[in-house]
Amino acid sequence: MHRRVTRHLVVGVAVALAAAGIPAQAMAQEGSEEGGITTIAAGLTNPRGFDWAPDGSLYLAQAGWGGDNNVAIVPGFTVDNGLTSSVGMIADGCYTAAAAGLPSALWLEAGWIWGAMDVAFLGDEAYALLSGAGPTWFSPSNRSGVYRLNGDGSMTLVGDVSSWLPDNPPVEIPFDYSPDGSLFDLEADGDALLVSEAVGGQLLRVTTDGEITSVADLSVDHLVPTGIAVDEEGNAFIGHETAAPYVDGGSKVVKVTPDGAVTDHWTDLTVVTDVALGPDGALYAAEMATGFSGETGEMPASSGRIVRQTGTDSSEAVVTDLAYPVYIGFDDAGQLLISGPAFGPDAGVGQGWLVSVDISNGPVSFAGYTPDMATCA
């Protein structure tokens, strides 16, 4: 998740989600620290966005590992889908599912997995963002969109993006576009929620009574909008991953005003997956990988960074040598939380982590870092 919170962080790790088909997860002990890095959770399966409840509880989305249903949607876009994603709470060293058995879709050509993508709070109400569901994902009984989490483990569909998008397509439709949407990020904005539709390229606003509107069309040149951060004036800052082949400096962050005006805010970035406003007021970005040669298009391993904006086209690294970071956020103590990796071999099963990093004493390197693993009892 991407907002700075003003609540106490409750950390911990995850248990097996057998009901969702997720293998048992080995977890890190609370507070295990190494060189400014504290392992909050390890052994996760494609962890995505996170947020804090008003009581300080930490919630996390896991995208799952796809499933056993193999479907060719369009050439170059083949998925294995199933019901393996979840949203849960991290506390006292364990992850407990608040909702499990949710849609999950592994994009085989890219290795990326859609599913439960993010969680956000409006007051006491928790909302989850689900992607990889709907007719074009060959999961017609489920819908991509915004859901309200109920106390009994069920969820209520609030914003049905699968039904809205076919009548409201982006200006430019790329080859890999799904009319059900490829939803990436969920961020509270006043009394509503902002959603980034990554592949099509739209910033959506979803109200709690289900009204969906397009705040800004970001589809031109297929820049792939990802993470969202919102400032006190209601301006949204949207990171752009860009489409492959990736090049260093080819990504950016745009600013979208409440009335929908779009301007470049921060350029010369690389494969941005998320953005966050820090306790110092600066904007931070997660770069999933850097150091592209331009020859193979492959992502260099352990080359991800978290960078702080120092100018309209300049930045400084605060965390380096990361394995494909995907979501970031700050707790009320000013610690930087990072989830990752974005993907991995064997569908990323059990390879994910959530860490807290102290960047107050200068840049932190993840070179040689191994999550401290323990079984969650």
**Who wins on pLDDT, 125 or 24?**
125
Supply the pLDDT for residue 94: 76
For residue 2, give the amino acid letter: H
| Non-local CB neighbours of 231 within 8 Å, separated by 6+ positions | 237, 277
- Interior angle at CA 276, CA 100 and CA 374, nearest 5: 45
- Burial degree of 377 (CB within 10 A; 0-12, 13-18, 19+): exposed
Supply the pLDDT for residue 204: 98
Supply the pLDDT for residue 33: 57
Mean pLDDT of the chain: 88
Note the pLDDT tens digit of each residue in 360-375.
999 999 999 887 665 4
Rounded CA gap, 29 and 47, in Å? 17
| Other Cβ atoms within 10 Å of 131 Cβ, number | 32
Tokens of 144: 């991509």
The answer to which of 10-19, 187-196, 266-275 has the lowest mean pLDDT is 10-19
Supply the pLDDT for residue 108: 92
Q: Which residue has the tokens 């991995």?
A: 344
Report the pLDDT averaged over residues 311-321: 98
The answer to which of 86-100, 214-228, 254-268 has the lowest mean pLDDT is 86-100
The alpha carbon of 50 is separated from its chain's Cα centroid by a whole number of angstroms, namely 8
| Whether the model pTM is above 0.75 | yes
Domain spanning 18-375: CATH 2.120.10.30: yes
Domains of the chain, by residue range, sit at: 18-375
Rg (CA), the chain: 18
| Other Cβ atoms within 10 Å of 83 Cβ, number | 21
Write the DSSP string, 184-199: EEEEEETTEEEEEETT
Q: Is the pLDDT assigned to residue 9 strictly greater than 80?
A: no
